[in-house]
Every structure is written in C-alpha cells, then in structure tokens.
Amino acid sequence: MFKYKSLSLYLSLLLLALSQNSLAATTLVAVAANFSKPMTEIAAEFEKSTGHTAKLSFGSSGKFVSQMENGGPFEVLLSADEKGPEKLEKSGFAVPNTRFIYALGKLVLWSTTPGYIDDQGKILSTGGFKHIALADPKLAPYGVAAVEVLKKKGLFEKLQPLFVLGENIAQTHQFVSTSNAELGFVALSQVIENGKIGSGSGWIVPSSEHAPIQQGAVLLKNGAENPAALALLNYLKSKPALAIIEKYGYDLPK
Amino acid sequence: MLTPADLDALLLTFKVASLATLFMLLIGTPLAWWLARTHSAFKGFINAIVSLPLVLPPTVLGFYLLVLMGPAGFIGKLTNELGLGTLPFTFPGLVIASVLYSMPFVVQPLQAAFTSIGEQPLEAAATLRASPLDTFFSVVVPLTKPGFLTASILGFTHTVGEFGVVLMIGGNIPDKTRVVSVQIYNHVEALEYSEAHWLAGCLLAFSFTVLFILYTVLKTQPNVQQLK
C-alpha cells in the first residue's frame, strides 16, 4: 500500500514537473542593437513574471531580416525600424497582423569630452572636428535620422567628407566612446543613465528634427506556436516593460 | 551589375593589398630569415607573436587596434605627437592593420623556405668569399623563389579577404576604407542581394584563380627545377 502511495506521489510530482516545463518555454529573440540595454532588463522582468525565458541576440536589423529570409532560427524580431517587420510579413516569414511599434527611438549627438557639445548642437556648424560618426544610413534608421538632421541644418554637404559610418548603432557608439571620432549620432538609450546623458556631453535631438524612428516588433513564423514568443510580445506592451522603455529615453508609441 | 561604388571598392581593395604585401615582404623577409637561422631564446616568443593573427578572431585584433590607435591609446598618442593624427578611419591605418593581420601568411612560407635550403649553399658561398648580402641575393633568393611567390600570393589574397579588422577600424569611408568585403556585407544587410551576388562572385572567381595558379602552375615549376 505504502509503495503504491509513494509511486503515485512520484508520478504526480513528475506530471507537475512536466506540465511546468511545457508552460515555461524559451523563445529566441533578435534585438536591434540600439535596444540591447532595455531589452536585457525587460527580459529579466519577463522571466520573473511569466516563468518563460527569452534568449536575446543583438545585431543590426538588416542582418536579422537577411538571416530570417534564409532560414534563421529567431521567433521574435525587435527591429530598429518598421521596414524589417513589414518586409518579413510580405515575404511570408512573419505571422500576419502581429506587427506593432514598441518604441520610438531618440537620437543624440554625443561626445566623450565633457562640455564639448552644447545643448543646441551648434558644434555641428562651428566644426573643428576631424570625424563625425553615424550609423550607415543605408542600413540603420538612426543613420537615416542623423542625415535628415544634418540636411535640415544645411550641413550635410559640408560634413559628409568627415563621416565615419558604423555598420550598426553599437559600432557607431564604439567609434565615439573610444574617442576615435570626436562626436557622433548615437541612440539615446546607449548613453542615458538615470534620465540624463551619463558621461561626456551631448545634444538630445528634438523629435521635430527628423521623421520618427518607429521601432517595430513582429512574431516570426518559427515562433507562431511558441507560448513564450506570444507572451513576450504581449509583455512588451505591459506597464513594467513600457516603464523600462521610457527609462532608456525612448518615447512611447501612441 | 557592378555599380561604380563596387568598382571603387575593388580598386581600393587591390591598392590596400598591394601596398600591404610590399610592406610585409620588406618587414617579413629579414624577420623570417632571422627566425630560420637564430638559436636565440626569443625565437619561440617572436614566432608566437607573429602567428597570433592566425588564431585570434579578427575582431579581437580590430578592437585592440581601435583602442591602441585611438587618441587615448599608446600608438594613437605616438602618432599624434609625430603630427600624423590618429590612424583609424584612414587609408594608412588600414594598410598597417592589414600588415599586422596578414603577416603570418608571409613570414611562415618564407621561414619554411629559408630553413629548407640548409647550411651548405651558404657555406659554399662563404668559401667563395661572397658577402652575406651578396649570398642572400645571389644564392638564397633564387633558391627560395617559390617561397617568395607563395608568401606574396598568400599575403595579398588574405588581405583581400580581410573583413573583421576593417569593420572595426575602417568606418566604411568610400575610396579610403570601404573595401570589397565590407561592401558585400553592406549589400547583404541592405537586402541588395543581386549586387551582393555580383561582387561576391567576382571575389570568388579571383580567389579561386589565384589559388589555382598557386597550386598548379607555380607548384610544379619549382619541383621540376629542383629535379634538374
């Protein structure tokens, strides 16, 4: 009798463990480089509150789109733009009607030298620098926005010979943070600490200076059946996630 | 088809590779000669240093160069003092990085060639009262011609195929640091697959042709000469 009891206990424990396993899933997420800091925090909170795990890969959105079109393993894409998710939906690699904007990117002109950049960005017309770093406008929406700002100021032609282009915004940040470029346009999320620019100096570019950087998320075909992927996309719209997104200097989608 | 920007990238790549190969031969020849002849305790140490780029990921080398050649780095401070400015994002910077990155591909074949000729020809030359320099150019170089050809070709092609280092220190500047490998990568990332195919195809054809020549034509000729 006792034997049977303990056996059934084991069995029920086993079942419980199995059911928990099937409830707590893991999802593989491709994250645009600019969103790496907030997403790391969001993923930690997501695990705590749902029990699911999100594994994050950081890189340029363009590369992720290429990889997905060639059999990439990702289940969720957090792109730096709207185009990537749109393209994947059209080519059938994303689940239709799962696209949404999860954050509006903020651009900052940044330098590691304190006091170098004024809060109006007048340094751009004053000049005196040898290199200005920006993300490649062909590849990165933050680069497109930077070019737009310079064109609006009528400085594009003048400054173009000084451009050094990062393959993505993380590399652009690297050029500036190692002082190889005196200044550069990076994502505010990369340099923000406690609501303001953490080190050096910078000009937070007003959103009116360029078309909004609408960062889109989408569920990919690989993740269509994965509860963790669906839960993560929902979690991105939750209050705790939005608070983290805002803390890193992004504007929230309307 | 190839765009004008692609052609510029091709031309720039060959410029970088040619200059880098020239410098690698100038620096690598005495270095390989020393490594082949010396019994110094430093031999192992220098050999290890020269071979490092073979095993290190190019991103590691690129990252160190970016930091070291930057305004706060040791090399950057030196070049600034000399009034040369800093090297990242410049054509000379790219050539220097390529020399460091491809050096083992030049030094190792040369070192092997120098070792293989042994002491005899050198001793024979010495008994004929040839100076060391004369011996080197009249005896060693003709005997190790295949080694020089292999070294030049490997050094050149390896520089053409360089990517990680350029990505880290190049800054993707047209006509200065935008080489073919970076241009292909950008095409792929921008989802311009047909442009990427054209350029990638060119590079594939080029690399295959060069290696084919290296392994057939050049490899058989020296063997025949040695048989005589």
Task: For residue B64, give the chain A residue with the closest CA.
Answer: A178
Residue type, B40: S
Contact at CB, B86 and A175, closer than 8 angstroms:
no
Question: Cα A22 to the chain's mean position, in Å?
Answer: 29
Using CA atoms, how far residue A149 sits from A81, A131, B196, in Å, is 17, 17, 30
* CATH, domain range B4-40+47-227: 1.10.3720.10
For A251, what's the count of Cα atoms within 13 Å in the CB-facing half-sphere? Answer: 14
Q: How far off is chain B from A59, nearest CA to CA, in Å?
A: 11
Q: How far off is chain A from B204, nearest CA to CA, in Å?
A: 21
Residue type, B172: N
ipTM surpassing 0.95: no
The answer to which of A10-14, A17-21, A67-71, A159-163 has the lowest mean pLDDT is A17-21
Residues A113 and A196 in one domain: yes
Contacts of B169 in chain A (CB under 8 A): 180
For chain B, which residues score pLDDT lower than 70? 218-228
pLDDT tens per residue, range A52-100: 999 999 888 888 888 888 888 899 999 999 999 999 999 999 999 999 9
Contact of A204 with A197, CB cutoff 8 Å = yes
pLDDT tens per residue, range A207-243: 999 999 999 999 999 999 999 999 999 999 999 999 9
User: Which one, of B81, B65, B83, B85, lies nearest residue B73 by Cα?
Assistant: B65
Percent of chain A with pLDDT over 70: 91
**Cα–Cα dist A44/A61, whole Å:** 22
Task: Quote the number of domains for chain A.
Answer: 2
Residues A93 and A122 in one domain: no
**Cα–Cα dist A97/A234, whole Å:** 14
**Cα–Cα dist B204/B160, whole Å:** 11
**Cα–Cα dist B179/B9, whole Å:** 5
Does residue A164 sit in helix, strand or coil? strand
* A236: CATH: 3.40.190.10
pLDDT at A12: 65
User: Which one, of A156, A168, A165, A155, lies nearest residue A131 by Cα?
Assistant: A165
Secondary structure letter of residue A251 according to DSSP: B
| Structural domain includes residue A100 | yes
pLDDT at B192: 84
- The ranges assigned to domains in chain B are 4-40+47-227
| Structural domain includes residue A66 | yes
Contacts of A179 in chain B (CB under 8 A): 70-72
CA angle B139, B141, B146 (to 5 degrees): 125
| Residue A130: domain span | 107-204
Residues A118 and A89 in one domain: no
Cα dihedral B8, B12, B18, B19 sign: positive
Q: Which of B67, B80, B189 should we substitute to test contact with A (largest number of A Cβ atoms within 10 Å)?
A: B189
Total beta-carbon pairs less than 8 A apart between chain A and chain B: 61
**Cα–Cα dist A49/B225, whole Å:** 76
Residues A69 and A45 in one domain: yes
pLDDT at B227: 38
CA angle A6, A8, A10 (to 5 degrees): 70
Helices B193-213 and B180-189, packing angle to 10 deg:
150
Residues A83 and A113 in one domain: no
Contact at CB, A179 and B66, closer than 8 angstroms:
no
pLDDT at A7: 65
Residues A199 and A116 in one domain: yes
Contact at CB, A167 and B172, closer than 8 angstroms:
yes
Residues A191 and A154 in one domain: yes
Contact at CB, A180 and B86, closer than 8 angstroms:
yes
Contact at CB, B70 and A180, closer than 8 angstroms:
yes
Any chain B CB within 8 A of the CB of A179? yes
Contacts of A136 in chain B (CB under 8 A): 172, 186
Contact at CB, A139 and B86, closer than 8 angstroms:
no
Contacts of A133 in chain B (CB under 8 A): 171
Q: Residue A19 pLDDT > 60, yes or no?
A: no
| Mean pLDDT within A238-251 | 95
Residues A123 and A141 in one domain: yes
Residues A96 and A168 in one domain: no
pLDDT at A162: 95
